[in-house]
Chains A and B, each alone.
Chain A
Amino acid sequence: MIDILQIFLSESFWAASLRIASPLIFGVLGALLCERAGVLNLGIEGIFVVGAMTGWMTVWLGAPLPVGVLAAAFSGALFGFLHSVLTVPLGLSQHVSGLGITLFASSLASFTYRTALPQVSSPPRIEPFRSLDVPILTDLPFFGPVLFQQTALTWLALILVCVVWWIMDRTPLGVALKAVGDNPEAVNAQGLSVIRLRMGAVVVGSSLMALGGAFLTMSAFDAFFFGMVNGRGWICIALVIFASWQPGKALIGALLFGMFDALQVRLQTEAGALVPPQVFLMMPFILSIIALVIVARRADYPRALLTPWFKGQR
């Protein structure tokens, strides 16, 4: 018998869960900001790819790691701006625009990579973020390895959860953001700009998504290769619903998924002989669907999600 309890007690399991969850935290926060403002951003998958590529390439060209992170965020903001122009002032279908952005962004990223590096057979490596190793804290039993041997980007993700929560729950800006996704007319009648709020949320949200991609090439791995995002963006779209559009629950959702994924890797090594590995690979997704079914039945959608707003329309 496999000792599952032993897996759950091991430090490495929890450290891995948090590591796997990190890019998802960025992605869920980004998607959550967009959707709270009333805009679904299905460009997320492509924006992950762009963020991963831009961050990696900036560093590969010689810039320091933090500059790479900023470059990745900026690339996400650009594609977010494109999506927001199409969906907010022009009011086009958010589904179509988002899927278009995903196709466009991921192709452009791959194209840029291939043009810059036509010859290489194995992807060139960069020196990625190291774990922080906070003195003293790292030596704590259990919490040391789990929390304090993560990279700066994981910490950034955790801090961003607090920042997004604080803005949404504690500032007038957050109130306006939630209002514009529920009833844009209420925002307009108070003299605030629906267009600017929505576009701003999409741009900022998209740059967070790109950070999720950058985590992959600058923290989890040290190179860019095709197909590395592998559906993480879509997972984030589902996790937003799981989280009922709340940052705290978004963190929990991402951690749950990280746990499932870390668990399946360990089960695979322990029981790989008995069960085909594909079953374990499917596990996190199946468990996510089950979790979604349980939670999403009571989901409380932003009322104006997917609904474009035009000034002075009857």
Chain B
Amino acid sequence: MTSLAPGPPVGPGTPAMPGPILAMRGMTKRFGPLLAADSIDLDLNQGEVLALLGENGAGKTTLMNMLFGEYTPDAGEVRIRDPSGNEEVLPPGQPQAAIAARIGMVHQHFTLAENLTVLDNILLGTEPPFSSRRSRRRARARLHRLMEASGLNASLDVRIRELSVGERQRIEILKALYREARILVLDEPTAVLTPQEADSLFGAVRELVREGLSVIFISHKLREVLAFSDRIMVLRHGRRMGEMPTSEADVGKIVRMMVGEEHAGVDRSPGEPSAPALVLEKVSVPSSRAQRALFEVSLTIHEAEILGIAGVAGNGQSTLAQIISGLLQPGEGSISIGGKNVRRLTPARALREGIGRIPEDRYQDGIVADMSVAENIVIERLDSPEIQRRGILRRAAIATHAEFLIDAHDIRCPGPHARTALLSGGNIQKLILARVLEAQPGIILANQPTRGLDVRAAGEVSRRLIAARDRGAGVLLISEDLDEVLALSDRILVMQGGRIAETKSRDRAVIGAMMTGGSVG
């Protein structure tokens, strides 16, 4: 782990009042047979940053959703102390009560209306039904001050649907800050920020903490947790496993508490790149409502190589991924696969040419949520004779095949016929990976493959990608997590403003500067 530089000031917050500002007692929530939260207690002091850690499905988000009134708990209560020292019990299941108590939440799954502008989304619910234009102007001015103070910049009149995932995340944070939250819940806030942006976010939040804000912070990035939090609490399988002051914590200790075993780091031997597998030559795409522009992007993925692309969301990575998936035909430039020129790359052609695709938005583009696990596993090869005979699906063969892959990839699900929507994010990603690797692709497009996954699941995905490389596949790894790019890539490209530049450097600061447009030329 590299150090967070320039690191924000670290240290215990200054408790202004005795006793916790927030006390959750015996919080319990069931979803059908699943006990998502099992009698969890949580205390938060004023001016403190509490990090909530645990694997995917450990109950962190469920707990926070109960705090925010989005889920009604089956048992337990939430007590809040207001600034004058009075304690009150929050009525369960009412977001408006949580907002009135000035609890702000930045959700992991965005709660933005895509057909509205940034400003409308931020103001949603803060104004009376028929407020004047003047109050809107005041709100706009206040937001500009807030953006300046927090370093989170956004253009207020753009519609959300024109923003990338990373940009949307920033709006979510801004939205919570605009509501003057006393208690701020950040559910993986930095999953899509650059290291510099994350540092500046933490700097801004630190400043607010010094002024009395209390923060609950969910993250899978242990480096961040160690640098930013005052106290760490670990959940596992819906139960509270323990807590410790951050000053006494280290990575090994946390991971042991989270998964009950020592975490095996990703072990990477250098690859042995050979012949070019996929070559893009001066590919350009004009900008439009649906996509960011690309300017003469040239890159070569060799066999047995992981080519990492670092960059901030919204700099053309999605467009590049769409071209390689065959979803988008470039305006100019050429693509060749395995040495031969491909004039028109369509999704079907991409599959035939052996391009395995791990899409950025796994829920939207990776699976059909209402179909079963088995159906999602075979969906890319429905014409194969193992799957169907004379147009009739071979259901037994599909189920057996699915069971085999569920075992091999440790996909946690009730069975091959379970609805895929019931799976957690990590398991959906394992399913997609199983489907892609099963086809033994020569080229793998991995777009944000570990976004939102916990340490164990992310490590599993990384190891599988390295194994595929060692088998001879060329892997294009697009990630906003610079640590991941550094850990996995044989070569690194940086994408900024639709252009691409190669770097030999492995220095976080150098690459970070290139990502923000510092020295890409």
Contact = CB atoms under 8 A, between A and B. Distances in A.
Contact of A179 (B31, B93, B110, B113): B113
B113 A188 contact: no
A186 interface: yes
- Size band of the B side of the interface? 35 or more
Interface stretch (B77-85, B114-122, B276-284, B455-463): B114-122
A191 B128 contact: no
B95 A173 contact: no
A311 B185 CA distance: 20
A269 interface: no
Given A170-B133, A188-B70, A189-B107, A183 B93 contact: no
Contacts of A172: 123-124, 126-131
B115 A303 contact: yes
Contact of A178 (B98, B105, B116): B116
Contacts, number: 89
A176 B127 CA distance: 10
Interface of A: 170-173, 175-176, 178-179, 181-183, 185-192, 300, 302-303, 311-312, 314
A190 B124 CA distance: 7
A175 B93 contact: no
Main SS of the interface on chain B? loop
Best-buried of B70, B72, B133 by chain A (most CB within 10 Å): B70
Contacts of A302: 115
B503 interface: no
Contact of B121 (A170, A186, A188): A186
Contact of B31 (A170, A303, A314): A314
A312 B72 CA distance: 7
B95 to A, nearest CB: 5
A191 B95 contact: yes
Interface in B173-210: none
Nearest to A180: B113
B125 A176 contact: yes
B111 A185 contact: yes
Top 10 A-B pairs ranked by shortest CB distance?
A190-B125, A191-B96, A179-B113, A173-B129, A189-B111, A182-B113, A172-B127, A186-B111, A312-B71, A191-B99
A179 B129 CA distance: 14
B112 interface: yes
A312 B100 CA distance: 19
A191 B129 contact: no
B111 A183 contact: yes
**Residue among B116, B124, B131 with the highest chain A CB neighbour number at 10 A:** B124
B124 A186 contact: yes
B153 interface: no
B65 interface: yes
B114 A312 contact: no
Contacts of A311: 70, 72, 93
A182 B99 contact: no
Contact of A312 (B93, B109, B112, B127): B93
Contacts of A173: 129-130
Nearest to A183: B113
